[in-house]
Structure 1
Amino acid sequence: MKSRLLQHINSSQDLKKLSKENLPVLAKELREFIIDIVSAKEGHLGASLGVVELTIALHYYFNTPEDLLVWDVGHQAYGHKILTGRRDVFETNRKLNGLSGFPKREESEYDTFGVGHSSTSISAALGMAIASKLNGNITKKHIAVIGDASIASGMAFEGLNHAGVTKANLWVILNDNAIGIDPSVGALKEYLSKSKIGVKSKQHNMIEALNFHYSGPIDGHDFEAILEAFKQLEKVEGPKFLHIITKKGKGLQQAEENQVVYHAPGKFDKITGELLPKNNKNLPPKFQDVFGLTLVELAKQNKDIIGITPAMPTGSSLKFMMSEFPDRAFDVGIAEQHAVTLAAGMATQGKIVFCTIYSTFLQRAYDQVIHDVALQNLPVIFCIDRAGLVGEDGATHHGVFDIAYLRSIPNLMIATPANEVELRNLLYTASLGLSNPIAIRYPRGRGSIINWQNDFKKVAIGKGKLLKTGTKVAIISIGTIKTEVEKAISLLDHTEKVAHYDLGFIKPLDKKLLTDIFKQYSTIFTIEDGVISGGGGEAIVSFAQQHQFTSTVVNLGIPDKFIEQGSTEELREIAGISANKIVEKIREYISL
């Protein structure tokens, strides 16, 4: 693809050499470039298409990277990366050893703050602004670009609240397109929607009440309007707020019309925009769909069942329940802390609450899990989606810490179903009523069982199982890594010597099963797709020490480092939990 202007832009200084009249031409080229790469390589599409003009204007007007630009979440930062020296390697985006899918400080001086989770930009940019002032630099500008879904998060309001009592040179630019990954929700969304239609007399008082100078709303696809707004705001001292209206997916008709699907559409035809067909026929289900469809079945049987998600109804598949029972399924926006405590409040009134949150996002509500749920022993059911390695989204999104950060919490049970049927039956068992809160973790992607919608069976809490007998060595797998262990065993020369157990639960542990294993085997391997430090394997080692068992225990899992982006298969190899790596480790200890 020919890019007459774009091929010469490697920095903001190159960009500034263009006349304003050429900026729309560059915008067209940049959109085409993003579409060209993402259509073939996959990634986040709609968000970056929506901010093409804004991205160009920011680097054209401000003195980046001296002026510090902070993107919120970073789904929308592809154009930013392409304009700042990474155009020629952009095809490696989200690939192993390639560019990160999100801004990353180690990658470029233009990436001033590493992001991936929402609503951090205002606090980070304010921190930079205050530091600049303390350093005696009062001219440096600090710009946070945040979306209308992210700004509804509590952390964003905390940043706004603090910024309003400073004189910091902070610019907050609201990229308002009425959608995050799913459509934005809540009262703030309604508030912003009203301001779009020009009723300004009182609509922006909330921002001004926080001591920000408010400007807008303006057309975020109009260079003249954006650059003029920047010029006018530069005359204002202290924190300032610019409200920009954009369209997610701008420039690709299908992405504009179906913004949820085209947030991260997979491969598509770059000319027509049509999604390329996926051979999903006769494939096992996604774990998120097992959760979502099973919850609908259970909700039909029990009117006290409630579903809650913080802004991920499509990704978690709570959308199925929201469609069937809209008064009992809640998308609370990007508000993980609120989601957990909301669930706790409902549980006090006898509701059976399924709170579905990605593992990486539950980290943001850790205090609420402890203080509001576990301390009061409220039987909230945490359905932890995207547990384990998640692939191309990389270090900010891997769900590898949940076992470790939840295992230390009293009262909280932790279940690790090995397949879709076990997940379905655990959900059923939890719906019957529990005396404690429970966390049920399951991975991103598809399982291995096509016919999974069988009659419900109650699960025995805290029980593991023998999957395969063996004479010499035992492997204890934790969760869906069971499939990789089975592959590994099949690669060994003497499979009859290897026993395989499914732990089933991290808390409570199946002490009888573990006692039998330690009495029978002198070498035991534990394998999990979470961090070794604090993980399920360490729980087993602790059990062995308490009971004075002397078997050699080898813990395999995610090592004590952050795992970057790549395919799940590549990352398992790096982490040492692929079938091949499991075989290598077994052969280090045992000749099989």
Structure 2
Amino acid sequence: MTNRPDTPLLDRVHTPADMKGMSDAELRRLADELRAETISAVSETGGHLGAGLGVVELTVALHAIWDAPRDKIIWDVSHQAYPHKILTGRRDRIRTLRQQGGLSGFTKRAESPYDAFGAAHSSTSISAALGYAVARDLGGVTDEGLGDAIAVIGDGAMSAGMAFEAMNHAGHLGKRLIVILNDNEMSIAPPVGALSSYLSKLYAGAPFQEFKAAAKGAVSLLPSPFQEGAKRAKEILKSVTVGGTMFEALGFSYVGPIDGHDMDQLLPVLRTVKSRASGPMLIHVITKKGKGYAPAERAADGGHATAKFDPVTGEQKKSKSNAPSYTNVFGETLVDLAAEDKRICAVTAAMPDGTGLQMMAGRYPSRCFDVGIAEQHAVTFSAGLAAGGMRPFCAIYSTFLQRGFDQVVHDVAIQRLPVRFAIDRAGLVGADGATHAGSFDVAYLSNLPGFVVMAAADEAELRHMVATAAAHDEGPIAFRYPRGEGVGVTLPAQGEVLEIGKGRIVREGARVAILSLGTRLAEAEKAAEALEARGITPTVADARFAKPLDREMILDLAARHEALITVEEGAIGGFGSHVAQLLADEGVLDKGLKFRSMFLPDTFIDQADPRVMYDIAALNADDIEAKVLDVLGVTRLDAKKA
């Protein structure tokens, strides 16, 4: 408790209504206290730090001026929403962030009426806010009422096509809608693309310019002191003829850029917009990620995501492991292969570090492409590279690849183009919870004709699968692997090209066979050891491929055992479903084989330690052991006697 900051003003704020009587000077001090409280809380929990620090003043200003939850403040992605949570009645739980039973690391409608729209993936806020605005004008009703709709979207998220689709529609409808472009020159990785360059030119080096007649009436939105004083107008607003042309073309009145850390700019502009806006407004706010906390400001990623840390020094308290991370194994293997094959190139969607491609970018920058937050484009761009004779690796988290599914189907699978999909964060991911779980990729890829789908059981297998993907030119191929460190197996010097559709027997036994896909193999082996102590010796196999299935191995296991159990870190409709279909088609189930499939339950699992999440999913060693005993009709007591 001694490290908690002194926050006399913040102590008075239990809901945003408590801010209404505060002076501007008090709101400035409140922002300082809110920043200190955010740093203190995240130092104890870990989580997304830099984004929240960058919007502290904006968060205070929004809640002081608007009337949430009647007014809907929608945070894009929402990893910047910790300060918002503190101000909206959740300060007493803020040190439970991202923990089992605690606050979500993102906005979540079920958590609070102040979380107007759940998020965790980017570029959805303007669409959702426009939906609220139209619902308001059509007479829609919510428990809190419907007032203004305010979308807060970062410059990285603004680069995604969905944001522009929403702005185009909003400009067409002409509804009162407020979009705040939180421009910090950084999403997670440094921003890329023409939009980033455009925004940079708005304020790079040049002083703010005076308004001109071409501002198309936006001057009338300024408070009267600013209309009268050209000098102050310079400090607040940049000429729409320079800054807002693109946004005005989409039907938005543009204001900015303004300093998002200067309450003397934020408060009067936001108050004027609230009182005078009649149609779509875009307010361009310049902020600094990690603002006010030196270790975050110094970090290359602005302190985007941290483990628990010392709030004084910023030193993170990360656990150490002797095993390399799966992400690093992928990145290093890809660089080795790229050294031998100039056709190998890599594509990611704003996650070069998260996917391990920073290594490729460092060694072969001309063959490594970060397309920004644009998964759909990443997939089709990769398809074009493949059509052009390259060997592209499209590295995207499982949860984010969902956003490009139509492109996977139409632009890759139907054309049988050899795009290699490196699917990171497969399975349950821990503190990020359901929004980031890699639950569905096996199911949605295995249903596509001509697709090869692999899942690595350990880091050595991953190295083999990267090599296999590099050598596969007959069509699309994907390999999935989890977040975090490997299991500690010895890594081969180079990957071996696996025979497509062939699994491996890991442990020979009798009566029951456990067929695993992915990293649950280690749990299956633990279960086998426990069962052997009970007098039951199961066979354990690693499927390696969800598609094509190793028909020969599966049918052999079915023929030699009383029971067959599949285990996977994916949803129903995936590997186990395909095995069941094979067994049914071959008439094996009619001959008395007992078949069971273990997969993620039909629910979204909230954040917790990954081990706990797999306990909830019933996919740990104890659960596999229990499933074997159940299918054999043996109680644990009987097994001990045996």
- TM-score w.r.t. structure 1 length? 0.97
Residues 248 and 259, structure 1, Cα contact 8 Å, conserved in 2? no
Aligned partner of 2:271 in structure 1 is: 231
Amino acid at match of 2:292: G
Aligned partner of 2:43 in structure 1 is: 39
Amino acid at match of 1:160: M
Residues 307 and 354, structure 1, Cα contact 8 Å, conserved in 2? yes
Aligned partner of 1:211 in structure 2 is: 251
Aligned partner of 1:471 in structure 2 is: 510
State the shift of 1:495 in Å. 6.1
Give runs of aligned pairs for residues 40-439 of structure 1, distance below 5 A: 40-135=44-139, 140-197=147-204, 198=208, 200=239, 201-234=241-274, 235-260=276-301, 262-276=303-317, 278-280=319-321, 283-439=322-478
State the shift of 1:266 in Å. 0.8
Q: Structure 2: how far apart are the matches of 1:556 and 1:569?
A: 16
Secondary structure at 2:288 match in 1? coil
Q: Structure 2: how far apart are the matches of 1:472 and 1:369?
A: 41
State the shift of 1:361 in Å. 0.4
State the shift of 1:3 in Å. 2.1
Q: Specify which of 627, 630, 633 is matched with residue 588 of structure 1.
A: 630
Q: Which deviates more from structure 2 when the two are superposed, residues 365-374 or residues 492-501?
A: 492-501
Q: Structure 2: how far apart are the matches of 1:390 and 1:174?
A: 30
State the shift of 1:276 in Å. 3.3
Residues 174 and 251, structure 2, Cα contact 8 Å, conserved in 1? no
Q: Structure 1: how far apart are the matches of 2:318 and 2:110?
A: 36
Structure 2 unaligned blocks of 5 or more:
210-238
Residues 528 and 537, structure 2, Cα contact 8 Å, conserved in 1? no
Quick one: structure 1 residues 456 and 18, their matched pair in 2 at CA, closer, same or farther if it must change by over 3 Å?
same
Secondary structure at 2:369 match in 1? strand
Amino acid at match of 1:90: I
State the shift of 1:90 in Å. 1.1
Amino acid at match of 1:365: G
Q: Structure 2: how far apart are the matches of 1:272 and 1:37?
A: 15
Q: Structure 1: how far apart are the matches of 2:140 and 2:335?
A: 59
Q: Structure 2: how far apart are the matches of 1:147 and 1:335?
A: 14
Structure 1 unaligned blocks of 5 or more:
none
Quick one: structure 1 residues 495 and 22, their matched pair in 2 at CA, closer, same or farther if it must change by over 3 Å?
farther
- TM-score w.r.t. structure 2 length? 0.90
Q: Structure 1: how far apart are the matches of 2:280 and 2:59?
A: 20
Cα deviations by residue, 1:91-144 (Å, 9 ceiling, x for unpaired): 111111111111000110000111010000000000110111111899821000
State the shift of 1:448 in Å. 1.4
Q: Structure 1: how far apart are the matches of 2:318 and 2:415?
A: 49
Q: Structure 2: how far apart are the matches of 1:417 and 1:165?
A: 48
Aligned partner of 1:552 in structure 2 is: 594
State the shift of 1:259 in Å. 4.2
Q: Structure 2: how far apart are the matches of 1:56 and 1:45?
A: 17
Percent identity of the aligned residues? 47
2:609 corresponds to 1:567: yes
Cα deviations by residue, 1:57-89 (Å, 9 ceiling, x for unpaired): 100000111011100001000000111010001
State the shift of 1:496 in Å. 5.2
Amino acid at match of 1:578: N
2:537 corresponds to 1:530: no
Q: Specify which of 6, 10, 14 is matched with residue 14 of structure 2.
A: 10
2:581 corresponds to 1:542: yes
Q: Structure 2: how far apart are the matches of 1:513 and 1:261?
A: 50
Aligned partner of 2:229 in structure 1 is: none
2:26 corresponds to 1:22: yes
